[in-house]
Chains A and B, each alone.
Chain A
Amino acid sequence: NAGVTQTPKFQVLKTGQSMTLQCAQDMNHNSMYWYRQDPGMGLRLIYYSASEGTTDKGEVPNGYNVSRLNKREFSLRLESAAPSQTSVYFCASSELDTQYFGPGTRLTVL
């Protein structure tokens, strides 16, 4: 039982490059989330998916897109990376009240 897994763990991009962050959960949870964590700002919600087939914007969605591929997987795509997107990205899943977090992806955009 791996919980929530994220790939890759680290990534360096140049400005303008694109990439997809992958997230998978094996807990059969309906809801999944993407957050970014920046120093002194806590975690901010980028997008979430309340159930398979639905996605909604969170607090900071600009520059990102998401895909809920199936119940297990929820990916985050940066179409044209910018230095302001340098951050640590966390995926989470939940059933009812408690969210379970992955280990994070540290992304640097040069």
Chain B
Amino acid sequence: AQSVTQLDSQVPVFEEAPVELRCNYSSSVSVYLFWYVQYPNQGLQLLLKYLSGSTLVESINGFEAEFNKSQTSFHLRKPSVHISDTAEYFCAVSVFTGGGNKLTFGTGTQLKVEL
């Protein structure tokens, strides 16, 4: 079985400051890694994912995450946040099989960007 730990339930940050949201996972087999974002009163949207290849993955809106196998981490970073980045961020892992792609989610990190 897989598990995901997001230690920070809330992260306040000022606009234009850098931010890191931490994610650690546990699994006995190789996993795929995801970050999803949830804006208020909406469903989840995929932000970025790591399946294989380059360990550094980027989103279209400036976020990036690096897969670190030795530390079993997949931390999310952005060098300069905007007020519109205020949302809840979920890290997730999956083990893809022929029977679908079941995700195991962390408990989420609420990012609050302040002026």
**A and B: bona fide binding partners:** yes
- A3 to B, closest residue via Cβ: B43
Q: A31-B100, A43-B90, A45-B102 are in contact. Are A97 and B51 (CB under 8 A)?
A: yes
Distance A83 CA – B6 CA, assembled complex (angstroms): 27
Cα distance A51–B99 in the bound complex, in angstroms? 8
Chain A residue numbers with a CB within 8 Å of B72 are none
Inter-chain CA distance A99–B34, complex, in Å, is 10
- Contacts of B36 on A, CB cut-off 8 Å? 101
Interface range on chain B: under 10, 10 to 19, 20 to 34, or 35 or more? Answer: 20 to 34
**Chain A 1-19, CB within 8 Å of chain B: the 1/0 string?**
0001000000000000000
Is the CB–CB distance between B43 and A104 below 8 Å? yes
Residues from chain B with a CB closer than 8 A to the CB of A104 are 42-43
- Provide the bound-state CA to CA distance between A31 and B9, in Å: 30
On whether the beta carbons of B96 and A97 are closer than 8 Å, the reply is yes
Q: What is the bound-complex CA distance between A104 and B41, given in angstroms?
A: 8
Q: Chain A residues in contact with chain B, CB under 8 A?
A: 4, 30-31, 33, 40-45, 48-51, 54, 56, 58, 90, 92, 94, 96-104
